[in-house]
Amino acid sequence: MALSNVLDSPAAGFNFDNAARNAAFEGLFEGGQTPKPLKTGTTIAGVVFKDGVVLGADTRATSSEVVADKMCAKIHYISPNIYCCGAGTAADTEKTTDLLSSNLTVFSLNSGRNPRVVMAVNILQDMLYRYHGQIGANLILGGVDCTGNHLYTVGPYGSVNKVPYLAMGSGDLAALGILEDGFQHDLELEKAKKLVRDAVHSGIMNDLGSGNNIDICVITAEGVDYIRPFQESEFKDRREIKYKYRQGTTPVLTKKITPLKMEVVQETTQKMETV
Amino acid sequence: MAAASMMPIFSQNVSSNSDLVPEWSRQEVSTGTTIMAVEYDGGVVVGADSRTTTGAYIANRVTDKLTRIHDRIYCCRSGSAADTQAIAEVVSYQLGFHSIELDEPPLVETAAHLFRASCYRYREELMAGILVAGWDRRKGGQVYCVPIGGMLVRQPVSVGGSGSSYIYGFMDSNYKPGLSKDQCLDLTTKALTLAMERDGSSGGVVRLATISEDGVERRVILGDQLPKFSTH
């Protein structure tokens, strides 16, 4: 871990610095609901195929029953050869993957090597276990490194599973049905992409929390193909009128300029020491 | 990519009724399980089912609950998946370090004591029931049981996990001291199958491992190859 820490390893045990602040927050809402963390109902899936790993995700982010973002990116960059899909609390998945990505970049720079998928998994597991489920991140990590093609899932409590195909999120039961039926070892690229696309599509069709477009990310030894969107939603709205207004549409009635009076309060000069 | 990757973080979410996220995905992953370990003259046989559940959902149906701690020492994990994985990693590290210091293969008893030390010290925070089994030169094949709470006891045969309740009768009537390796394998397979039939949290395939002086032999028995028992 010495080579790969952006921040120092935190001290052992829980950090309760924010407990007092959180208790004060409860008071502010006068018995009402404190804001709950945003969970994006999601369908994410991953499959190991002959030459690498295919990851897929839908692109809907919801805030209760309103679609907050129709094109949100759930496949996060970790390193040039590792990508991660995130389900669960939106902020947690975003920040956890960012931190992981920074740590692995530092590691690459320090050691001169490409990070291995198992490294990413170990760092994640370490961190999530330390927080005992308080970080609500369900992650699917996929990547290709010198030891082969790997697909792992890490749960919020820090449990790790290594499997050839996976689905996570609220739509995972629907997606898993498709994967269980269609998965075979050593699939060809196009079949693998189609399988993942079908799985995410099933999640979109059968789960209210998933929808809009489908993103696909193909990782092979040659490189990464991040296809965003792989498939656009069949039910897209077409805006009938333009919402852009040309300059001058709103007439200017009056103009008043007030210069801000700034006075010099203090001026100090320090000579730079030169050898 | 930079512009598209901003995840909207809404701080006001007053009426959040997380129906979109099912109940089971918020529960901790548990290995509701059946695990078993038997001693024979010259080694041990360990076995486990392969189901990991999150509430009522099977998170992994091909889990490997037989975790290598050292070349001739394995542990069978039951309880919380995260807790047991973490403990197993810590103990593997400690045992590996100890073995390098001694320049000798470690004793099974040492591994069992390391497990017990962690499980007992953090007994309030952890939920882990572990069977430690292996072979060493001093005492041959040994099985140690470290259940939830952090007890340590050596037994010739031990079962653990939620499915173990259903097979105590079978074990008591079918185990005799002095069984051969193949008889142990057969006993373990039958016991695990019976438990998997009755316990909802156990299932999948049966994973077996035989640990002896010559090394570790691993085997998987798939669902359709399991012995068949019929009550109807």
B38 vs A252, more confident: B38
Closest CB to A64 among B16, B59, B63: B16
Per-residue pLDDT, averaged over A42-63, amounts to: 92
For residue B171, what pLDDT is reported?
Answer: 94
For residue A141, what pLDDT is reported?
Answer: 95
Nearest-Cα residue of chain A relative to residue B58:
A173
A111 vs A231, more confident: A111
Chain-wide mean pLDDT for chain B? 88
pLDDT confidence tier of residue B12, bands split at 50, 70 and 90: very low
CB A62 within 8 A of CB A207: no
**Using N-to-C axis directions, what is the helix angle for B81-102 and B108-121, rounded to 10°?**
140
Q: Is A194 helix (H, G, I), strand (E, B) or coil?
A: helix
The shortest C-alpha distance from A253 to chain B (Å) reads 37
For residue B9, what pLDDT is reported?
Answer: 33
pTM: 0.76
pLDDT confidence tier of residue B3, bands split at 50, 70 and 90: very low
Q: Is the pLDDT of residue A75 over 70?
A: yes
**Using N-to-C axis directions, what is the helix angle for A117-130 and A90-111, rounded to 10°?**
130
Whether A228 sits inside 8 A of B16 (CB atoms) is no
Whether A155 sits inside 8 A of B17 (CB atoms) is no
pLDDT confidence tier of residue A264, bands split at 50, 70 and 90: confident
Closest CB to A163 among B4, B25, B62: B62
Q: Is the pLDDT of residue A66 over 90?
A: no
pLDDT confidence tier of residue A91, bands split at 50, 70 and 90: confident
Map B2-70 to HEC letters.
CHHHCCCCCCCCCCCCCCCCCHHHHCCCEECCCEEEEEECCEEEEEECCCEEECCEEEECCCCCEEEEE
In one-letter notation, the amino acid at residue B15 is S
Q: Which residues of B touch A37 (CB under 8 A)?
A: 13
Assembly ipTM: 0.73
Q: Which residues of A touch B16 (CB under 8 A)?
A: 33, 36, 38-39, 64
Say whether B33 is catalytic: yes
Determine how many CB atoms are found less than 10 A away from the CB of residue B109: 17
CB hemisphere CA count around B113 (13 angstroms): 7
Q: Please state, for a pLDDT cut of 70, what percent of chain A lies above it.
A: 89
Whether A61 sits inside 8 A of B8 (CB atoms) is yes
Chain-wide mean pLDDT for chain A? 86
For residue B5, what pLDDT is reported?
Answer: 34
In one-letter notation, the amino acid at residue A66 is V
CB A91 within 8 A of CB A108: no
For residue A118, what pLDDT is reported?
Answer: 95
Q: Is the pLDDT of residue A22 over 90?
A: no
For residue B4, what pLDDT is reported?
Answer: 36
Whether A77 sits inside 8 A of B63 (CB atoms) is no
The shortest C-alpha distance from A238 to chain B (Å) reads 21
Tell me: the pLDDT tens digits for A197-250? 999 999 999 988 888 899 999 999 999 999 988 888 777 777 788 888 888 888
The shortest C-alpha distance from B60 to chain A (Å) reads 7
Domains and CATH numbers, chain A: 43-231 (3.60.20.10)
Q: Is A216 helix (H, G, I), strand (E, B) or coil?
A: strand
B20 vs A82, more confident: A82
The shortest C-alpha distance from B79 to chain A (Å) reads 12
For residue B24, what pLDDT is reported?
Answer: 55
Tell me: the pLDDT tens digits for B164-181? 999 999 999 999 999 999
Q: Which residues of A touch B20 (CB under 8 A)?
A: 39, 41, 62, 170, 207-209
Q: Quickly list H helices, chain B.
A: 81-102, 108-121, 168-174, 181-198
Say yes or no: B28 contacts chain A, CB-CB below 8 A: yes
Query: In Å, what is the CA distance from B115 to each residue of A237, A263, B153, B155?
Result: 59, 70, 12, 16
Whether A159 sits inside 8 A of B29 (CB atoms) is yes
pLDDT confidence tier of residue B212, bands split at 50, 70 and 90: very high
Say yes or no: A34 contacts chain B, CB-CB below 8 A: no
The shortest C-alpha distance from B97 to chain A (Å) reads 17
In one-letter notation, the amino acid at residue A270 is Q
- Of A40-44, A177-181, B42-46, the range with the lowest mean pLDDT is A40-44
Say yes or no: A134 contacts chain B, CB-CB below 8 A: no
Say yes or no: B3 contacts chain A, CB-CB below 8 A: no
For residue A97, what pLDDT is reported?
Answer: 94
Per-residue pLDDT, averaged over A153-177, amounts to: 92
pLDDT confidence tier of residue A36, bands split at 50, 70 and 90: low
Active-site residue, from A34, A40, A42, A96: A42
Q: Choosing among A71, A159, A207, which should be mutated to test the B contact, i.e. which has the most B CBs within 10 A? A: A159
Say yes or no: A80 contacts chain B, CB-CB below 8 A: no
Whether A38 sits inside 8 A of B13 (CB atoms) is yes
Torsion, Cα A91 A96 A101 A104, to 10 degrees, reads 170
CB hemisphere CA count around B114 (13 angstroms): 24
Give the separation between CA B165 and CA B35, rounded to whole angstroms.
Answer: 11
Say yes or no: A130 contacts chain B, CB-CB below 8 A: no
Q: Which residues of B touch A175 (CB under 8 A)?
A: none
Q: Choosing among B15, B20, B64, B124, which should be mutated to test the A contact, i.e. which has the most A CBs within 10 A? A: B20
Give the separation between CA B100 and CA B91, rounded to whole angstroms.
Answer: 14
Tell me: the pLDDT tens digits for B58-100? 889 999 999 999 999 999 999 999 999 999 999 999 999 999 9
Say yes or no: B2 contacts chain A, CB-CB below 8 A: no
pLDDT confidence tier of residue B16, bands split at 50, 70 and 90: very low
For residue A82, what pLDDT is reported?
Answer: 96
Q: Please state, for a pLDDT cut of 90, what percent of chain A lies above it.
A: 53
Say yes or no: A70 contacts chain B, CB-CB below 8 A: no
* Residue A229 preceded by cis peptide, ω within 30: yes
DSSP, res A3: G
A45 vs A19, more confident: A45
Tell me: the pLDDT tens digits for B180-205? 999 999 999 999 999 999 999 999 99
